Amino acid sequence: MGKRKINNSDMNRARYNRLKKILQQRKLFKLVCGAGNEDPEEVKRLAFIFTLAGSTMLDLSANADIVDAAAEGIRKAYEIAPLLGRDIRVKPYLNVSIGLKGDPHVRKAQINLDNCSKCGLCITVCQQKAISDDCKVVKYRCIGCGHCETICPKAAIQYISKRLDFNKILPLCIQRGVETLELHAAIDDDKAFLADWKIINNLIQGNFISLCIDRSLLSDEHLIDRIKMAYVLTGERLIIQADGIPMSGSENDDYNNTLQAIACADIVGKSKIPVKIVLSGGTNRKTGLLAKQCAVGVHGVAIGSFARKIVKEFISQDKFYDNKSLIKKAVSVADELIRVNLEAIGD
């Protein structure tokens, strides 16, 4: 009897079951390339390094070119892995992040040059190198973190938040290999939240979808009510990304920075809604350990700013792909970040 042909739906189910197991085993590590990061070369290099290091998910901007860049980074990682003696156990899941209008993850900074004194403080503080010497924001690099606005003495920085047509852009991303979606929903607008949540539920019916929320604009009760609303539509496919202080992870590798993420996860866990919980927002090397010390059970850790910061010196080199020792160093730094977190939450 011939073997049954494996079709797309079998593959999708296998990938769903694999992700479910990864979450049950508390082994999800998500590298956040940045919901607003539209720099294809940076994303390709990040995907390359973190695939080799064992990241199980890559979080990307809702942009087909960026999805292609990440896929190319993964392909390159598979190509070089045997030469580096590395075994890639799980092909990373590609996740695309979108946000409610106004959510910090999907905004871009804009400088009002009439108010700007050209002091240069914003240029120095911007980790993304997204502000030019003549004080203009390079949009594709800006991730909306807000560090420039905080430091600006002239209040010359505001944000613009463009509403994407999700029904147009997301199917394009899915065609290119995206398997899961995430909605950043920190904004206090339930009607807008439900409308967007329905869209992503319709688009991804056979895999997990993630709701990223924090406590900056929602009360603890409101946060739980929103999770309940999401759970009604999504059931066991729901991941809650418990965000501490969004995009604050580049600051310090300490407990204080990661504390809010643990507090948010604790509230979600105590609600007893049977969702999977992933920590984010200020996450660093200490995150898993702090969750363990606080007895807060989580299923994964997502790291963005901090993860990007620790590999930056390697991936920003010109001849990066030709330099095996540079690649090895970057992979080793990323590997350690993943390992310390997953060992701590998995105990």
Interface residues with ligand SF4 (CB under 6 A) are: 109, 111, 116-122, 125-126, 128, 130-131, 135, 137, 142-148, 151-152, 154, 156-157
Q: What is the DSSP letter of 5?
A: P
Give me the residues paired with residue 302 across strands: 30
Nearer to ligand SF4, 23 or 137 (CB): 137
Smallest distance, ligand SF4 to C-beta of residue 215, A:
21
Q: How far is the CB of 110 from ligand SF4 (least distance, A)?
A: 9
Residue 124 beta carbon to ligand SF4: minimum distance, rounded to whole angstroms:
9
In the complex, minimum distance from the CB of residue 74 to ligand SF4, in angstroms, rounded to a whole number: 25
- Residue closer to ligand SF4 by CB (options 125, 326) is 125
Q: Which is nearer to ligand SF4, 117 or 175 (CB)?
A: 117
Q: Residue 217 Cβ, how far from ligand SF4 at the closest point, in Å? A: 18
Say how far apart CA 42 and CA 20 lie, in whole Å.
29
Q: Which is nearer to ligand SF4, 56 or 257 (CB)?
A: 257
**What is d(CA 148, CA 232) in angstroms, rounded to the nearest whole number?**
39
Q: Which phi-psi region, left, alpha or beta, contains residue 76 (left: φ > 0; alpha: ψ -120 to 50)?
A: alpha
3-state helix, strand, coil in the chain (%, to 5): 50, 15, 35
Least distance between ligand SF4 and beta carbon 128 (Å): 4
Nearer to ligand SF4, 71 or 156 (CB): 156
CA 189 to chain CA centroid, Å, is 22
What's the angle, vertex CA 83, arms to CA 78 and CA 85, rounded to 5? 90
Q: Distance of CA 189 to CAs 50, 217, 280, Å?
A: 35, 10, 22
Distance CA 345, CA 196 (A): 31
Structure tokens at 299: 């299923």
In the complex with ligand SF4, the residue whose CB is nearer, 39 or 196, is 39
The two tokens of residue 13 are 């189910």
Nearer to ligand SF4 (CB atom), residue 135 or residue 204: 135
b/e per residue 147-157 (b: at least 16 CB within 10 A): bbbeebeeebb
Q: How many residues does the chain have?
A: 347
Minimum gap (Å) between residue 250 Cβ and ligand SF4: 9
